[in-house]
DNA sequence: TTAGTTTTGTAACCTTTGTTACATATTTTA
DNA sequence: TAAAATATGTAACAAAGGTTACAAAACTAA
């Protein structure tokens, strides 16, 4: 039940009255794997709280090529959507369900009210910003400082932690899009990582060797 | 006088009583060009409000190589320092004065009080976060999607806008450090940009041709 | 089971970026 | 003014990553 999940994922920081209000004003939504939850330039009318699943946050260049910035997990929100209260209300990123995911969508107006009226919500917002900032810095570090093979391994390890499994179900093409490179480059580097005994390759499947 | 500059740069968003309190509790500090204002892993005890000058915000890799993330201008604050209220209080970035700069340093404790007690401060924080987020996205775009010659030109144009002058006083080595590449690469690409009539090179000096 | 589709492997080649080494030009200092 | 220090120019080569083209393997559906 939604209320229980809300308490479980957000109860550590949001107070009881607020959680009750979230249930009253929030709109429950489910998305299937690969659904686009919000797209670039779409108006942001709701702030999403993620109850279940994982969401990819992506950026796009002029030619339509993507780049994964970070993942959202259950118990988190997209700070991009928070900034919409000020200034532009258009999304600068694309959010895609990495797995089947459940969200509660909160109208922007409520977010503003709570921001000025509820301390626990303010703390949640601050904490969210901090987490996102750290993720953005980490994304910058990876792109700027790591070579593609290192980025690839980090991506795989991260994904395996996220899914709580050493085996990742993914195609080379999908990895290439997330890392903003070509499928051939990924296949080449994956084979190299396999030779270095860091992973094991299968069709639609990669096993990360943790040892 | 400090009070007037505060009103001039922050009066559009912070209310009068808050500006008066900032003057009371804030510590005025001046830095010279190339001074390190705060370094990586240093504890963050103050939030800086930039009154005059420009500040470079840099990230560093394991080998000590830098990468410019963005510039702070007068009327802005470093959101990295805001997040220190929650969680870690260690700086994840290095802040270096790009020009002689004046700051007002606000104790973290005050920032927390104001965040829960003053609406104009909350709006300022939200706005700051939005600006920084956009800058971070822009930094990611540049690193991920642009080739080095494009990044270089963007860097030069940006610097020329910031300094309100077509002529930038800078060494190739410094550019190389900001963009996380080598001096030879920068010299090569600068010469190329000069051949394309986009810039004019001098010693310690680059003129951006706007035409 | 066969034909088509999807996914992966790999070779060959190109472009961009990084490295080393050294030359030249300009400024500073003795 | 000569010597030293600093800044820039450039060649030659290396390495990483991107592109094209095609083959082979694995799966799917008729």
Nearest-CA distance B93 → chain A (Å): 9
Residues of A with CB under 8 A from a CB of B: 59, 61-62, 65, 67, 69, 79-80, 82-83, 85-87, 92-93, 115-116, 119, 122-123, 126-127, 129-130, 132-134, 136-137, 139-141, 143-145, 180
B60-111 residue pLDDT tens:
999 999 999 999 999 999 887 777 656 667 899 999 999 999 999 999 889 8
A10/A27 Cα distance (integer angstroms): 16
Pairing of strands B46-52, B101-107: antiparallel
Residue A192's CB is within 10 A of a number of other CB atoms, namely: 13
| pLDDT tier for residue A169 given thresholds of 50, 70 and 90 | very high
- Tokens representing A165? 């499994």
Nearest-CA distance B80 → chain A (Å): 8
| pLDDT tier for residue A211 given thresholds of 50, 70 and 90 | confident
A35-75 residue pLDDT tens:
999 999 998 888 999 999 999 999 999 999 999 999 999 99
A29 touches strand C (CB under 7 A): no
| pLDDT tier for residue A88 given thresholds of 50, 70 and 90 | low
Q: Do B132 and A137 touch (CB under 8 A)?
A: no
pLDDT at residue B2 in the model: 87
B130/A83 Cα distance (integer angstroms): 5
Contact A180, B180 (CB under 8 A): no
Residues of B with CB under 8 A from a CB of A: 59, 61-62, 65, 67, 69, 79-80, 82-83, 85-87, 92-93, 115-116, 119, 122-123, 126-127, 129-130, 132-134, 136-137, 139-141, 143-145, 180
| pLDDT tier for residue A86 given thresholds of 50, 70 and 90 | low
Where do the structural domains in chain A lie, given as residue ranges? 2-144, 147-208
pLDDT at residue A2 in the model: 87
CATH topology of domain B147-208: Arc Repressor Mutant, subunit A (1.10.10)
Q: Find all residues with CB under 8 Å of B15, minimum gap 6, and list them.
A: B118, B119, B120
pTM listed for this prediction:
0.95
Residue A109 has pLDDT above 80, yes or no: yes
Q: Where would I find the H helices in chain B?
A: 2-10, 16-25, 79-82, 108-117, 119-145, 148-162, 172-178, 183-195
pLDDT at residue A15 in the model: 97
Distance from residue A182 (CA) to nucleotide D19 (C1'), in Å?
Answer: 9
Average pLDDT, chain A: 94
Q: Once rounded to an integer, what is the mean pLDDT over residues B46-50?
A: 93
**Common-topology check for domains B2-144 and B147-208:** no
CATH topology of domain A2-144: Jelly Rolls (2.60.120)
B140-199 residue pLDDT tens:
999 999 999 999 999 999 999 999 999 999 999 999 999 999 999 999 999 999 999 999
């Amino acid at each position: 039940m939604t209320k229980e999940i809300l308490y479980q994922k957000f109860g550590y920081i949001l107070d009881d009255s607020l959680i009750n209000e979230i249930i009253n004003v929030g709109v429950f939504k489910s998305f299937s794997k690969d659904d686009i939850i919000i797209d670039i330039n779409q108006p942001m009318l709701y702030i999403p709280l993620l109850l279940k699943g994982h969401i990819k946050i992506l950026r796009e260049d002029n030619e339509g090529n993507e780049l994964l910035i970070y993942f959202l997990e259950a118990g988190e929100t997209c700070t991009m959507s928070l900034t919409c209260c000020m200034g532009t209300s258009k999304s600068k990123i694309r959010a895609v369900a990495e797995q089947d995911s459940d969200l509660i969508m909160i109208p922007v107006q409520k977010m503003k009210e709570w921001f000025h009226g509820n301390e626990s919500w303010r703390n949640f917002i601050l904490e969210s910003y901090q987490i996102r900032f750290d993720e953005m810095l980490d994304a910058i570090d990876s792109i700027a400082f790591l070579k593609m093979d290192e980025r690839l391994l980090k991506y795989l390890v991260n994904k395996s932690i996220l899914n709580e499994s050493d085996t990742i179900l993914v195609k080379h093409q999908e990895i290439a899009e997330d890392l903003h490179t070509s499928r051939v480059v990924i296949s080449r580097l994956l084979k190299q990582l396999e030779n270095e005994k860091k992973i094991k390759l299968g069709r639609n499947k990669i096993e990360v060797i943790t040892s």
